[in-house]
Structure 1
Amino acid sequence: MTRKLRMGMIGGGIGSFIGDVHRKAAAIDGMIDLVCGAFSSDAEKSKQSGKALFLNDDRCYTDFKEMILTEKQLPEDKRMDFVAIVTPNHMHFEPAKMALENGFHVVCDKPMTLTLDEALELEAILKRTGKLFALTHNYTGHPMVKQAKALITNGDLGKIRKIQVQYLQGWLSTSVEKTGQKQASWRIDPKRSGIGGALGDIGTHAENLVEYITGLKIDEIAADLGVFGEDRVLDDDGNLLLRMENGAKGTMSISQIALGEENNLAIKVYGEKGSLEWHQENPNQLITHWLENPVKVFTPNGNDLYPEAINVSRIPAGHPEGYLEAFATIYKNFATHLMAVKNNKTIENPDYPTVNDGVRGMQFIYAAVASNQDNSTWTKIK
């Protein structure tokens, strides 16, 4: 291709945290331009948001249906190539379905849908339409996460035996939703969040990180979920035991009421020949221990990195890369794949989360809720 990809956005209007993150991440590698949007369910707010982003008035739409149908009628050299969906969970499925069925590729925030049935239907639509779909499990975009995955894929750690993962936050330690805090209000509401609270918001990140790094599926879980916030009905805390498909054992701890924690996502993986650990709050270090060699700490642009890590390290060694850059990696790899498709080329095993990861995330949520309701009984993820 001789041009940038054109992106439309659904959601992410004035005051949105995640919409701004998506826009910045999409722009980092210079492959994507935002050209249109339906930024709010409030028509006037949507128009104001588009104006604030310096979009042409005729590309600022009152709702996503108008945007998709109007963009479809535009000449091919003007209309959007794909849409980014950055709404609360209950507003993922309908616009994704409509976009795909009208010929547009999709990038969607996680969890993929409100319900498992929606996730399975979306998977079927992707198979039917042949369009591309990226799910923004952004933490898989870190160079040191890529390095961790490559170490395991290439057998450096040997057979995996044990996994520990945690995702701890403290921002829901008090009833902030009762103060009108927008991010909290929809996340504690089953009608907008789904059957999982912390499970859907951060648990799916932990689940995806485990399966991405190890290349192993979680086979069974035993979940003990907690609801500590006053008048809440969805989980805001949980501890889970994991059984992996290769026989490895694991633990997962998630919480949004862990007072003092900010965004403490961390994973440790133990194999027969070595182990590794990675902490999201210190993302540029991957610490490894070896049966017969000294401790080794990998850093972006350091020595002995696999190509998967080198390819997403953007800046010189010693300069920190973080949240936005990891998010940008999802967009970069998706954009690279989409450009290849438009040039009638094939990319084997494109490296970004897809609809399959979205289905796994919803299956994880449903299995955890079912296990918790049955006194933490071992439950298959299926």
Structure 2
Amino acid sequence: MINKQQIIDRFISYVTIDTESDPKSNTTPSTEKQWDLANKLVDELKAIGLTEVTIDENAYIMATLPSNVEHHVPTIGFISHFDTSPDFTGANVNPKVIPNYDGNDILLNKEAGIVLSPDYFDDLKLYIGQTLITTDGTTLLGADDKAGICEIVSAMEYLIQHPEIKHGEIKVGFTPDEEIGRGAHKFDVEKFGADWAYTMDGSQVGELEYENFNAAGAVVKIKGKIVHPGYAKGKMINSMYIATEFINSLPRLETPEHTEGYQGFFHLHNIKGDVEETVLEYIIRDHDKDHFEARKDVMEKLANELNSQYENEAVHIEITDQYYNMKEKVEPVKHIVDIAEDAMKQLSIEPIIKPIRGGTDGSQLSYMGLPCPNIFAGGHNFHGRYEYVPVESIIKATEVICKIAELTAAKHQ
């Protein structure tokens, strides 16, 4: 039986350490403060009894739980990231524990009038009677992905304390900078030494994902020409107006707020401009590889069309691929998904197999030779003040890890 209070204490000890990553930094990890949790995790992994505990110069952590069976079992891994998103502050996290949630509004912050309400976040109704951990309304929580770390550490500790559960060799990996798309960039797959792995980085209980977006980033720089407005006729070129043309020429309903499931999108997430120069920053997402390539082509052609209308090639676009759909790499070894699905079913958890509308470290790792589906970690409303996680969901994910380890050994006798 997983100890509930121990889970709460462990999780809170992680989220109260600020590990926000920084996309503008060129270092790994991108922020010095990520080392604070990384070093704590190294000490904790050693303390619970894992072997080969290492941390490299980039703060990538790896450890091993040795096999306790004599027959050969494939080596499996579990991976989570310890950074939090720069979308919202992760400093001075002050988590609130709500036991026996009654299904009503939760007042996160009385002074600011911030309320977590099931009228808006209807997933809350799934957790009536459970213990929730929320923010105080001024920060994110960090369940993405410190819930995953808590689950992996807790599962390894449980397996060590219960040797009657038979398992093969298990590898543990914790990474920095996943939230800025660099979590797997310096991950040493060969050193990790697993045949396959699972990221614990999903949301709702039961989520099991092996499809994700193909992803690219686009930076559109638009040059204008500044002239005194009183004498500007036929001379001024206002880059902001050209930018408006570019924005309005993309399909208005193919944006995040209008799409779901397998539908891709163009997302303008940053804009900065004046008459002389405007910079648009987009992300491009699609599950289908052909549609993904078509989206990039649409943006390139639009830039060319605008350049034909304005002098000196006013529009410059640079598109950079970020990651690809892991389905291509996981489907040939689909049994690794089947084991996770079977583990959930044996624990009376209904698997929710669906595409990720995003990416995980696993999407990049799969293309680096480590097939890596994604499993729920339990949190909701990531990257903002309304983030929360049910403690019971963390416990269930911990149990799933243990069951996957047990089933992998049993299936290879």
With normalisation by structure 1, the TM-score equals 0.25
Q: Highest Rg: 1 or 2?
A: 2
With normalisation by structure 2, the TM-score equals 0.24
Say which structure is richer in helix.
1
Q: Which has the higher contact order (CA 8 A, sep 6+)?
A: 2
